[in-house]
Every structure is written in structure tokens, then in C-alpha cells.
Structure 1
Amino acid sequence: MGISSFLGVVRSVVIYYNPVLMHRNQRLYSGLVQKGDLVFDVGAHVGTRARVLRRLGARVIAFEPQPVFARFLRWTLPRSVTLVEAALGQTESRAQMAVSRRHPTVSSLRDSLPDEARAMPGFEHVRWDGRAEVAVTTLDAMIARHGRPDYIKIDVEGYEAEVLSGLTQPVSLVSFEYLPGLPAPSAAVIDRLCALGAYTFNVVRGENAGFEWTDWQDAEALRAWLADQAPDSGSGDVYARLEPAPAATGAGPSQAA
């Protein structure tokens, strides 16, 4: 591991292994995830959310394609968390990831991200100075292997829609990162989720781990809210909850007397 990669890992550990932040996430997830639920943590990074979810009694499958972070997770995650050293996408393949050694949280399989980020506030000092060939699998393949998850958390720096393109069935709860300066990926994710099922949405700004709205909103309300966010307002997470199918109404067929 080079010095830049080492410093990148240390930086992420310092940022995310924050007891206050982890407590906030645990409080949020305790209202969303039940003991025994199956969770896919897509983009596990240093594993803080995987740890919180496992602490709540969930069965966690953590996906991390970056070799340096996969190695860190092999050493540090509880043995009860299953680690899959792969990215998720539309098909099973191999792909080239653009890596930022000093800011590894923004490493991505989205080829256009380094160019797009030049105009995004907060990315002025980020450089994608490395490449990594990573394995890619699909959500459908992982469901066939591990079971249908109750919750899929996705944080993959603009590649979220591609992750969901490998899913052909709705799941109860999905969350994905939104970047106000990069609206197209969020729009594509919303479209994909609406094609899979009847979802309502809520938002968590940044790392505050509290929902923006008391009542969950439809896709149009979410789109309008995202369009109103200034490019420098900071990222956050969108949560999509699958609504139950409406009960059948009306009387059954009449019977002759």
C-alpha cells in the first residue's frame, strides 16, 4: 500500500468511525431494520454502516470492490458479516474503477465522474490518480445466492442507477446517495425504482441521520425537492420504501338464488 492510499484509509477511518455519527445511524436504522433482516451494504467502504446494521441484529452482506478497503474489511469486520469483494452493476464482468487515493470515498465506476466533478463545489482538490480493475456482479445474482434483501444501501458515487439496473424485482427498502451537483444519476435511480414498484421517498441530509419529512413523499415531490437543492448544499441519502399493494375491493361474483 502506497503512502497516499494509506493516508486515504486513515482519513476515512477518522471521518466515519465517529461515535456520534455511528450512534445517529444506529438510531435511524433501528426504525427501519428488524432483527434477522437481510441487508446488502453496497459500497461498504470502511464498514461503519455494516457494523451498525449487524449490531441491530441484521444479517449483512457487505460489497466493497476497492482492493485496499476490501483488505481493511477482511481484517476488521465481524466474522458474522459476509464480505463480497466486488462492485455491482448491470452484468457480471470486470471493470476499471477511477480511484482517488487521497479521497477514496469518491472512487467510482462512473467513467464521467472525474470530468463532471470539476464543476462541483467541494471537489476542487480531489484528483482521480489511480485505476483499479474490479469484479462486477449483479443484485439479481446476489439475491439468487444470499436471498432477497429487506434493505439495500447504495453509496457508489454516481453509479447507483447502474447498480439497480442489475435488479429485476422490488425490495422493501432502498437507500442511495444523492449529489446536488450531479442530478442525472439521482433522476435515473428514481426512474428505475418507480419501474420496479410503488415507492415513496424520504431524505436524510448529510450525516445528520434524521428524516427531512414527517410523511414520506411520492416521486414527483422528491424530484422537485432535489431540483431545488443548490449545488453546494451537500450530499445526503434518499430512502425509498415499497408501499403495500392496495387490497382488492368490490364484492365477489353474485350467485343465483
Structure 2
Amino acid sequence: MLSRAWGLARSLIIYHGQPSKHRRALRLYREFLGPGDIGFDIGAHVGGRVRTWRRLGARVVAVEPQPDCLRVLRLLFGRDRGVTIVPGAVGARAGRASLAMSTATPTVSSMSPDWIKSVTADHSFSRVRWDRSVEVEVATLDDLIATHGAPAFCKIDVEGFEADVLAGLSQPVRALSFEYLPPAHDAAMAVLDMVDRLGATAAGYRYNYSPVETMRYASDGWLDLPDLVRLLERYRPLGRSGDVYARLRQPGDETPADGTA
């Protein structure tokens, strides 16, 4: 019980207890979301992004499978009519699936056994234990769009389950992000390929990268896929996670001469 309370408290400090980070997040997400827009927060955890997006006037669909995190989301946003809390997960098809949970570090709870196996070999995960599991309901992104409308932005933070989430999406969304973790680099490259193929059915995606929850872009301009991959290769040896951002191509998009910041 003590480790559960500590794990949850740590998440609340990280995602709600840093005012400067919240201000940077407002600046970053203002590019994607405004009043009346819909944001999908897939893997909402304790609602750090939900809080930011509501400040921007967006309506939020917050999807979260972890019972403890759901209790926090309901406490913080349960009376907010602009927030729809969806208990469960998102995957390739509707149904039920098992979520492996880490009591002490709930941020790395995952539905991907392969991802857990790959990151366990990295020293930064040496103390992480996935010590319990829970069966959760699974919907698809297409299901969520049919129910709530198409999002202006979709955040996917599901610890190695990103490919399964995207497999349940049949249409490009205007903008999205997903977590990049260097120990799972190959899996991230497969996700990038899925995103790029999805964008090819529309205007095509351009990309950027924000390292380690800085809420700042690593590149001054939006990049084509090969330039983004080169940028990620520069960050890969550092072993720190970050977020890849993709948005449909816009007039005036320019890639810096060296492809980086």
C-alpha cells in the first residue's frame, strides 16, 4: 500500500507540481489545440495533459486503464463537462486485454510484454518491477472517433503499445504524439513507419521531437521522416525518453538546412 501511495504521489508531483513545465506545455500545445477542439489523451495517467488542454479551451477524451490513476482523474476532472474519462485502453481491436502494472512506478505500466522484455535489459529500468496485472476493456481509435468526433490532437503514451493503438486507426488525424524510448528504438521506428504511411493518405506528416518532458522542440523547424530519424539517432545514446510530434504538412513548413536545431 505504501509503495502504491508513493508511486501515485510521485506522478502527481511530476505532472502537476511543476508550474514552469505547465507554462511550457501551454505554449507547446497551443499550436495544436484551441477552444472547441477535441484532444484524445491516450494513457492520461494522472491528467497532466488534460489540465493543460482544458486551460486552452479544448474538450478532452482521457483514456486510462490503471484503477489508481482513474480515481485521480475522477477526483480532478469528474465534474468537468469538458472532460470525458474513458476507463480502459486503446488497441488494434475492441475486447479485453491484460495490463502489467508497476506499483512503485505506474508511469511504466504496459500492455506490451515485448516492450517490457526489451526495456528490462536497460540499466535505467533495473529497479522496475511489474508486480501485478489487471484485465481492462479495450476500444480502438476508430471507435473513439465514431463516439466523440475526430481529434485535433492525439497523445499516445502507452509504454510500447503504440503500434497496437495505431493499428486501430484507419484515418489520419491532424496531429499526434507518441513516446520515444531509446532502449526500444526499433519499436519506435516501426511506429514512425505506421504514422508516416497513415499521413501519406492525406497531406503527409512533418515531425519534431521534444526530449525528456522539456516541452520544447529539439528542431527549429518541422522535419521530414529521414531528418527526424537522424535527430533521434543523436539523442539515442543519451538514453532519455521524449516525445515525437507529427502534424499534417502545412504551408510554409521548412526544414532547417542541417535538419536539426
Task: Verify same fold: TM over 0.5.
Answer: yes
SS at match of 1:134: strand
Partner amino acid, structure 1, of 2:112 = R
The answer (yes or no) to whether the contact 2:115–2:184 under 8 Å persists in 1 is no
How far did residue 244 of structure 1 move? 5.4
Structure 1: 5+ residue runs without aligned partners? Answer: 246-257
User: 170, 181, 184: which one pairs with 2:183?
Assistant: 181
Name the structure 1 match of 2:25: 25
Aligned to 1:248: none
How far did 1:85 drift?
A: 0.5
Match of 2:94 among 74, 89, 92: 92
Q: CA separation in 2, counterparts of 1:61 and 1:212?
A: 28
Tell me the SS of whatever aligns to 2:100.
strand
Q: Please state how far the C-alpha of 1:215 moved relative to its aligned partner.
A: 1.4
Q: Which residue of 2 aligns with 1:239?
A: 245
Tell me the equivalent position of 1:3.
2
- The correspondence for 2:169, drawn from 167, 170, 173, is 167
Say which SS state the counterpart of residue 70 (structure 1) adopts: helix
In the TM superposition, what is the alpha-carbon distance from 1:178 to its structure 2 partner? 0.2
User: Are 1:38 and 2:38 counterparts?
Assistant: yes
Match of 2:208 in 1: 202
CA apart distance, 1:230:
3.2
SS state at 1:228 partner? helix
Q: What is the correspondence of 1:65-144 to structure 2 with a 5 Å cutoff?
A: 65-77=65-77, 79=80, 80-144=82-146
The 2-side partners of 1:83 and 1:237 are apart by 23
Q: Secondary structure at the match of 1:112?
A: helix
Q: Aligned partners of 2:188 and 2:29: how far apart in 1? A: 22
Q: Distance in 2 between matches of 1:96 and 1:145?
A: 24
Query: What is the aligned-residue identity percentage?
Result: 45
- 1:108-136 Cα deviation digits (max 9, x unpaired): 00112332222224212111111111111
Which one-letter code corresponds to 1:219 in the other structure?
A: L
- Can you list the C-alpha shifts for 1:177-227, whole angstroms capped at 9, x where unaligned? 100111122112111111111111001111111111111111111122223
Deviations 1:134-190 (A, max 9, x none): 111000001000001110011111111111110000011010110011112211211
TM-score by length of 2: 0.89
Does the CA contact (< 8 Å) of 1:200 and 1:218 recur in 2?
A: yes
Q: Are residues 159 and 189 of structure 1, via their aligned partners in 2, closer, same or farther at CA, if it must alter by over 3 Å?
A: same
Amino acid at match of 1:217: L
2:61 and 2:83 in contact (8 A); partners too: yes
User: Which residue in 2 is equivalent to 1:254?
Assistant: none
Give the aligned residue type for 1:13: L
Alignment of 1:39-54 (within 5 A): 39-54=39-54
Q: Answer yes or no: is the 8 Å Cα contact 2:182–2:241 preserved in 1.
A: yes
Is the CA contact (8 Å cut-off) linking 1:100 and 1:128 kept in structure 2?
yes
* Amino acid in the other structure paired with 1:176: F
CA RMSD of aligned residues (A): 1.5
Q: Which moved more, 1:23-32 or 1:89-98?
A: 23-32
1:223 aligns with 2:257: no
Structure whose residues are more often helix by fraction: 2
For the pair shown, which has the larger CA radius of gyration, 1 or 2? 1
Q: What is the distance in 2 between the residues matched to 1:23 and 1:183?
A: 29
Give the gaps of 5 or more residues in structure 2. Answer: 252-261
